[in-house]
Amino acid sequence: MPTFLRTIVCSVVGVLALSQVASAQTLTLESALQSAFAGNPDLAAAQWEIEIAQGGRQQAGLIPNPVASWDAEDTRRSTRTTTVKLSQTLELGGKRGARIDVASRAQDAAAQELEQRRNLLRAEVIEGFYGALRAQERLELAQRSMALAERGLVIANGRVTAGKASPVEATRAQVQLSEVRLERSRAEIGVSDAYRRLAAITGSANIGFERVESGALNTPALPSATQLLARLESTAELRLAELQIQQREAGLGLEKAQRIPDLDVSIGSQYDASVRERVNLVGVSMPIPLFNRNQGNVLAASRRADQARDLRNATELRLRTETRQALDLWATANSEVRAFNQVILPAAQSAVDSATRGFEMGKFNFLEVLDAQRTLIAARTQYLAALAQATDAWVRIERIYGDLARI
């Protein structure tokens, strides 16, 4: 009995280990997204911008350091006049508050840029994952086509041997098989390239999986244009454009504050060795804004703010246009995919089967079989192109709105 239980336990452990290995070799979309968010070097570099902006905010709130000075007039000790002075610049006009405002806006913009970068990375992972999935599908279709071509060659050779067909039929079948083999080789290279691109997006220099999860190739249903456009104001890119307006306006406030000159206050002591007398010194100085009142910088900052408003409007227009274009492309591509799945591919496959049976029975020549096979291959190629268009439309929406599951 213990031996029996031990056998069962070992079997269960072995099955679990094999399942873990199998799951580790198959990459899912969720695991690809997690790996990318954890290991993508571009995203890691972008995250440092938050702390960089924090450093800028900290620096903006600091006041100027006091200045200590020591002067000696005359090198002879008996007649030397020595001055020790401590001076401090007092910022007027709200310059420190204006600097803090600019730095705070930069902090907000850095956080928004990071969110936008995460959306872009998510879209890149989806694009790479479905590109790898299409590459796998292309390879499988190429293998099916090769099986058809091999069957056609066997039938053609049999009919030639039996004297029921010309040797030209066998030659055509051999040429068709060679073409399909080349397509399979190209498909294998395409799979390797797609895997390598996906691994690079997730932050790995090596391919750590054997294949991507073969789920449904069709893209998920997208929200309607009304739903998406209602959330346009909350997209990362448009919020970033709004923050850039606020940042430029804060910069304008800083330039206006720079028109008011700062006040330098100093105190010190002066000792005259010739008369052995020490006197206290108090001083106040301020530039007179007679010619330079920072007019040029104020004008430039004002135009930057106007430019930021126009750029925000341009961004909104572009995002609205891209949303509608992507939805139209997705609808068109999805209808094409449905047509291929429901009508075109089954009909093309049926035509190949009928032509092959007819050739085997002597009713058709091999040209008709060849034409049917090429029609099927062309239909499969167009099917993959339609899938690529649907995925591209989905990715474009993801770039703008982020995770669509949250809408």
Assess whether pLDDT exceeds 70 at residue 266: yes
Hey, is 164 helix, strand or coil?
coil
What average pLDDT does the segment 95-122 reach?
95
Assess whether pLDDT exceeds 90 at residue 284: yes
Band of pLDDT at residue 5, cut at 50, 70 and 90: very low
Please state the length of the chain: 407
Percent of the chain with pLDDT over 90: 69
What average pLDDT does the segment 105-110 reach?
95
CA 168 to chain centroid: 53
Assess whether pLDDT exceeds 60 at residue 294: yes
Question: Which spans in 67-94 are helix H?
Answer: none
Residue 43 lies in a domain: yes
Task: Assign 3-state DSSP to the chain and report helix, strand, coil percentages, each to 5.
Answer: 75, 10, 15
Return the closest-CA partner of residue 283 out of 40, 15, 69, 56: 69
What average pLDDT does the segment 235-243 reach?
96
Q: Which residues contact 330 (CB under 8 A, 6 or more apart)?
A: 219, 222, 390, 393, 394, 397
Least confident piece of the model among 55-64, 156-165, 284-293, 315-324: 156-165
Q: Which helix (H) or strand (E) holds 282?
A: strand 277-285
- Structural domain that includes position 176: 36-406
What whole-number distance in Å separates Cα of residue 336 and Cα of residue 389?
Answer: 10
What whole-number distance in Å separates Cα of residue 23 and Cα of residue 209?
Answer: 9
Residue 27 lies in a domain: no
Residue 202 lies in a domain: yes
Residue 195 lies in a domain: yes
Q: Tell me the residue type at 248.
A: R
Residue 9 lies in a domain: no
* Domain harbouring 58, CATH code: 1.20.1600.10
Assess whether pLDDT exceeds 70 at residue 23: no
Residue where the block lists tokens 């959306």: 119
Assess whether pLDDT exceeds 90 at residue 364: no
What average pLDDT does the segment 122-131 reach?
94
Residue 368 CB neighbours (<10 A): 16
Q: How far is residue 43 from each of residues 1, 36, 394, measured CA to CA in Å?
A: 56, 8, 22
What whole-number distance in Å separates Cα of residue 34 and Cα of residue 114?
Answer: 16
What average pLDDT does the segment 282-297 reach?
94
Residue 25 lies in a domain: no
What whole-number distance in Å separates Cα of residue 144 and Cα of residue 152?
Answer: 12
Band of pLDDT at residue 15, cut at 50, 70 and 90: very low
Band of pLDDT at residue 216, cut at 50, 70 and 90: low
Hey, is 340 helix, strand or coil?
helix
If one counts the domains in the chain, the total is 1
- pTM comes to 0.83
Assess whether pLDDT exceeds 60 at residue 344: yes
What whole-number distance in Å separates Cα of residue 336 and Cα of residue 381?
Answer: 12
pLDDT in tens, 178-196: 999 999 999 999 999 999 9
Return the closest-CA partner of residue 373 out of 341, 404, 350, 407: 350
Question: Cα torsion for 2, 5, 9, 14, to the nearest 10°?
Answer: 100
Strands 26-27, 211-212: pairing is parallel
Residue 148 lies in a domain: yes
Residue 159 lies in a domain: yes
